[in-house]
Structure 1
Amino acid sequence: MKNNVNNAVKKFASSNNFTIVLFHYDGNVNGWDEFDWSKDVIHITARKQTKWWFAKRFLHPDIVAPYEYIFIWDEDLGVDNFDAEEYIKIVRKHGLEISQPAVDGQGFQWRMTERKRDQEIHKQVQERENWCTSPQLPPCAGFVEIMAPVFTRNAWRCAWHMIQNDLVHGWGLDFNVRRCVEPGHEKMGVVDAQWIKHHAIPTLLNQGQQNENTSSTAIRTRCRLEWKMFDERVAEAEKAYYQLMGIPYPSSNSTNTTN
């Protein structure tokens, strides 16, 4: 895992245009001193937490307002074919407010985030049958995964407010951040010309107490429960908004699915 993180950090540290923050969930900050860049990045540690827990507490929109783009990335990404500066050029060119690099390789992933080898970016795909209620809604469009999203500062201000203090895994965010940009199917996209690999290393395993079940099955169960809770909260908030504005609430406004 250290080599993975080292490679990713160096992709950004080679430029003077990025500030790098490492979130440590194991408390082992000094373990990174072997890398020259460690003294130049910001280290934040809290044991047994997750990326979105840290992001909610330490990446407040006012704090990151000086930055044009905010990368909220996992630690298990392969970045051999990724160039941060080139990526920024592409998202600016296409006006993407929320984006991610395409994912290349085997294993399950949403078709929206799979790398298309003949395109610079893509904004829409045809998903599996009955997975999308509309071709302009997630996961067919207006969709990026929570493993490697990139937000403009304005989009992040909205997305940050969506993150729930008590729902630490972030499941469900990917289906709803489209609400932060208008229209989502135009201002969200996947960058095929700069791609990553997702190694899917289960780094959350064995992070709990001895009497806690931290198996992959237990973690996935917790993630699905949080997703359900998040959807319910979004639906209630949306209904309240429609009622406040005096607008009839659509009979079906769900865009979520499970796999």
Structure 2
Amino acid sequence: MSSLDGKLLSGDKSPEDFGSRKFPEIYVPTNPRGAEVLPPGIVVAKTDFYLRRLWGEPNEDLKKKPKYLVTFTVGFDQRNHINGVVKKFSEDFQILLFHYDGRTTEWDQFEWSKNAIHISTRKQTKWWFAKRFLHPDVVSAYEYIFIWDEDLGVEHFNADKYIELVKKHGLEISQPGLEPNNGLTWEMTKRRGDREVHKDTKEKPGWCKDPHLPPCAAFVEIMAPVFSREAWRCVWHMIQNDLVHGWGLDFALRRCVEPAHEKIGVVDSQWIIHKVIPSLGSQGKSENGKAPWQGVRERCKKEWTMFQNRLADADKEYLGRTVKG
């Protein structure tokens, strides 16, 4: 029970009324773990990032509930760029900024920032933030979750049209096509100018043993992925706590949708430009005569190997148990 200025906020009930009540014995095994002793009608197992008022009627707080969540992991130096990017997202999108440089209040120079969610921890990556703050039960209110880098050009991108195409083509995991002249690593993510969406491609000889597997299909990169809430529930569980750069994760996303080669794709007609700004790399530490970004890159490569090894070991252990069973 709370009080304000010495007044009870619970009507005319006194503390004794609450302390002396005998509650019925309850155990509901179908409730979420830890909530079995609560009556199901009071259990709220999921939440959201909707902003609430400190006054007025609670049922009048939300004039509009954003349908989608878009997150950027940012540093203050990229504020003007992010300001332009955010304007490509309508009021149907809740903006969430993960700050890796500890600077948050300065963003209030932008009017939209006052209604955004700000989460700050120094020198952390977007996958570190995603694992800790985007639990599936926290973001379940949103149909799609954008987990984007801060160095993406969006001159040719419209978020509402993007969502329309994702739904039209049944994509559970997707990304915008990439302008081929900048920051392109894989053929799969290169924008094609003759279609709305593509789901497969051809790579260098020997790179794709199966045309339905990465990197020729069932594949998007980790720089600008978009997940349906169902796909994200699976992907979140696969993110490793200590592998914060996420390298290798993009090759494993296919495990979370079926059939992956039909439900993972690239949206060509709403495309972006990867500006390749090594902003987070500069947050590393100079060691053994190496520049900060070099240490970050080496860590990324180590994570790739570690993730692949863990995945292979997990598969082997599971299959071994299945055979024995």
- Is TM more than 0.5 here? yes
User: Any residues of structure 2 matched to 1:42-121 within 5 Å, and which?
Assistant: 42-107=117-182, 108-121=184-197
Determine the C-alpha separation between the residues in 2 that align with 1:211 and 1:116. 42
1:129 Cα deviation after fit: 1.0
- Name which of 232, 239, 250 aligns with 2:316: 239
Determine the C-alpha separation between the residues in 2 that align with 1:196 and 1:41. 23
| Contact persistence 2:283–2:292 (CA under 8 A) | no
Q: Which runs of 5+ in 1 are unaligned?
A: 248-259
User: Any residues of structure 2 matched to 1:1-259 within 5 Å, and which?
Assistant: 1-12=78-89, 15-107=90-182, 108-209=184-285, 215-246=292-323
| Contact persistence 2:171–2:264 (CA under 8 A) | yes
1:240 Cα deviation after fit: 1.9
| Contact persistence 1:207–1:214 (CA under 8 A) | no
| Contact persistence 1:205–1:214 (CA under 8 A) | no
Aligned partner of residue 66 in structure 1, secondary structure: coil
1:91 Cα deviation after fit: 0.6
Which one has a bigger Cα radius of gyration?
A: 2
Aligned partner of residue 102 in structure 1, secondary structure: strand
| Contact persistence 1:204–1:214 (CA under 8 A) | no
Cα 1:209–1:174, aligned 2, differ >3 Å: closer, same or farther?
closer
Question: Structure 2 length as normaliser, TM-score?
Answer: 0.73
Higher relative contact order (CA 8 A, sep 6+): 1
Cα 1:105–1:205, aligned 2, differ >3 Å: closer, same or farther?
same
Q: Which residue of 1 aligns with 2:33?
A: none
1:215 Cα deviation after fit: 2.7
Determine the C-alpha separation between the residues in 1 that align with 2:207 and 2:285. 38
Determine the C-alpha separation between the residues in 2 that align with 1:55 and 1:10. 23
1:235 Cα deviation after fit: 0.7
Say what the alpha-carbon RMSD is for the aligned residues: 1.5
Q: Which runs of 5+ in 2 are unaligned?
A: 1-77
1:90 Cα deviation after fit: 0.4
| Contact persistence 2:239–2:249 (CA under 8 A) | yes
| Contact persistence 1:33–1:39 (CA under 8 A) | yes
Determine the C-alpha separation between the residues in 1 that align with 2:141 and 2:241. 24
1:214 Cα deviation after fit: 5.2
How many residue pairs get aligned? The number is: 245
| Contact persistence 2:100–2:121 (CA under 8 A) | yes
Deviation per CA, 1:106-128: give whole Å up to 9, x if none.
Answer: 14320000000001100000001
Deviation per CA, 1:45-88: give whole Å up to 9, x if none.
Answer: 00000010000000000000011100000000000111111101
Mean Cα deviation higher: 99-108 or 88-97: 99-108
Deviation per CA, 1:198-253: give whole Å up to 9, x if none.
Answer: 00100123324565855332211110100000001111111122223329xxxxxx
The residue type equivalent to 2:97 in the other structure is L
